[in-house]
């Protein structure tokens, strides 16, 4: 056998084992995902991790194709398998592949896309992974990116008394505050970048504050909002936006008793490494049990990609290697039998 052929066979043998599967989420909705197992195991049950993507129509890999392709969760999944850890990632119910299954009546969309359904879907995914042959349901963790981090803390809080509760959580670019102030910062920054004239910027910022006040007060949007907001604040987002603006991630975090790793890009333009991550850290440090570690990556974006080329919103290229190594180190330590 040639050296090249031998190398090819070795590479094939060590590749992670991926299986396309389905499970049932909230309201009986069928969801699809990828179960990834290490190429080989010692025969004993191994730890498992579910991977939760960010907001919007995000798929199992952390993408919203064709505009946004990060492959963030896919890269983490492959790395976990190389380190002897099983994982499960799935397409959110908002992902484009399910469009034909969305309620035909748009009046039903607020309930279909509400916060509780996304949490129930993710909880069902957690249970699904724990039920798989070869996975140890008592040594599992959740990795959440952006919105997924908040859902992870919600699950950790909900399953606090469960015998198979998560042993550890990893928050990547997770918020430490309700979404209202974060949206104000995000949109103010966007308008500044676009060099919007002062009267236009004022119109949008005043309109935004009115929208946020009303959605918190009665769960509706003003009829006279600025036109540019209609894609974000539409009929499908009323219930989940109200949840975003009323749920405090730091308070959720306090209810989780396991170990937590907080990761954020130093150039994150979505979630502040200065105003959000330290809030989560402080909340977690105040618990009676469970450790917390924090890693701020100086040259990384919200998607944990390199910003050294000057693009603070970077979403392409490999994941920050320091973050990936830290994730594996943390999980191997916290999920050991």
Asked if residue 7 is part of any domain, the answer here is: no
Q: State yes or no: pLDDT of 304 exceeds 80.
A: yes
* Helical ranges in 159-291 per DSSP H: 179-193, 198-218, 238-246, 249-254, 277-285
191-219: pLDDT as tens digits: 999 999 999 999 999 999 999 999 999 99
Same domain, 195 and 312: no
Could you report how far apart the first and last alpha carbons of the chain are, in Å?
Answer: 40
Reading phi first (left if > 0) and then psi (alpha if -120 to 50, else beta), residue 92 is in: beta
Are both 231 and 143 inside the same structural domain?
no
Q: How far apart are CA 211 and CA 222, in angstroms?
A: 6
- Residue 44's pLDDT is 86
Of the residues 189, 221, 244, which one is the last residue of a structural domain?
Answer: 244
Classified as helix, coil or strand, 157 is helix
The answer on 153 and 184 residing in a single domain is: no
190 and 151 part of one domain: no
Is residue 142 located within the same domain as residue 95? yes
Q: What's the pTM value of the predicted model, to 2 decimals? A: 0.94
Q: Looking at the DSSP assignment, which residues form a beta bridge with residue 170?
A: 143, 261
Does residue 54 contact residue 145 with C-beta atoms inside 8 Å?
Answer: yes
What is the percent of the chain where pLDDT is above 90? 92
Q: Residue 299 is part of a domain; what is its CATH number?
A: 3.40.50.1820
Same domain, 237 and 115: no
Residues 262 and 184 placed together within one structural domain of the fold: no
Summarised one tens digit per residue, pLDDT across range 51-62 is: 999 999 999 999
Q: Work out the number of other CB atoms within 10 angstroms of the CB of residue 40.
A: 10
Residue 249 belongs to a domain:
no
Are residues 104 and 23 both part of a single domain? yes
Residue recorded with tokens 């008394």: 161
Task: Name the residue range of residue 33's domain.
Answer: 18-174+258-283+291-334
- Give the separation between CA 24 and CA 121, rounded to whole angstroms: 8
- Counting the structural domains of the chain, the total is 2
Give yes or no: residues 32 and 135 share one domain: yes
Task: Assess whether 269 and 206 both reside in one domain.
Answer: no
The reply to whether 219 falls in a domain is yes
The answer to whether 70 touches 316, Cβ cutoff 8 Å, is yes
On the question of pLDDT at 283 being above 50, the answer is yes
79 domain residue, yes or no: yes
> In this predicted structure, what is the pLDDT of residue 336?
86
On whether both 167 and 306 belong to a single domain, the answer is yes
Is 147 contained in some domain? Answer: yes
d(C-alpha 51, C-alpha 60), whole Å: 8
Whether 117 and 233 map to the same domain: the answer is no
């Amino acid at each position: 056998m040639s050296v090249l052929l031998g190398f090819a066979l070795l590479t094939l043998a060590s590749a992670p084992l991926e299986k396309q599967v389905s499970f049932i989420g909230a309201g009986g909705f069928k969801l699809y995902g990828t179960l990834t197992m290490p190429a080989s195991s010692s025969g004993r049950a191994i730890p498992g991790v579910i991977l939760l993507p960010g907001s919007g129509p995000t798929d199992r890999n952390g993408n919203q194709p064709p505009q946004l392709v990060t492959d963030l969760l896919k890269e983490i999944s492959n790395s976990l398998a190389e380190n002897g850890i099983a994982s499960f990632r799935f397409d959110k119910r908002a992902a484009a592949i399910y469009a034909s299954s969305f309620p035909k009546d748009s009046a039903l969309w607020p309930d279909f896309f509400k916060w509780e359904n996304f949490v129930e879907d993710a909880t069902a995914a957690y249970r699904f992974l724990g039920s798989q042959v070869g996975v140890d349901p008592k040594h599992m963790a959740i990795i959440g990116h952006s919105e997924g981090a908040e859902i992870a803390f919600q699950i950790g809080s909900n399953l606090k008394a469960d015998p198979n509760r998560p042993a550890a959580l990893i928050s990547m670019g997770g918020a430490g505050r309700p979404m209202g102030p974060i949206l104000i910062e995000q949109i103010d920054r966007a308008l500044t970048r676009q060099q919007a004239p002062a009267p236009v910027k004022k119109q949008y910022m005043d309109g935004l504050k009115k929208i946020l006040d009303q959605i918190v007060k009665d769960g509706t949007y003003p009829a006279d909002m600025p036109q540019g907001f209609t894609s974000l604040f539409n009929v499908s987002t009323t219930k989940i936006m109200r949840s975003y603006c009323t749920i405090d991630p730091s308070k959720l975090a306090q209810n989780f008793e396991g170990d937590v790793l907080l990761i954020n890009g130093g150039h994150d333009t979505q979630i502040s490494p200065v105003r959000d991550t330290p809030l989560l850290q402080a909340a977690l440090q105040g618990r009676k049990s469970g450790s917390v570690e924090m890693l701020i990556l100086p040259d990384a974006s919200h998607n944990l990609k390199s910003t050294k080329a000057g693009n603070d919103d970077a979403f392409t290229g490999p994941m920050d290697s320091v973050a990936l190594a830290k994730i594996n180190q943390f999980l191997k330590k916290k999920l050991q039998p």
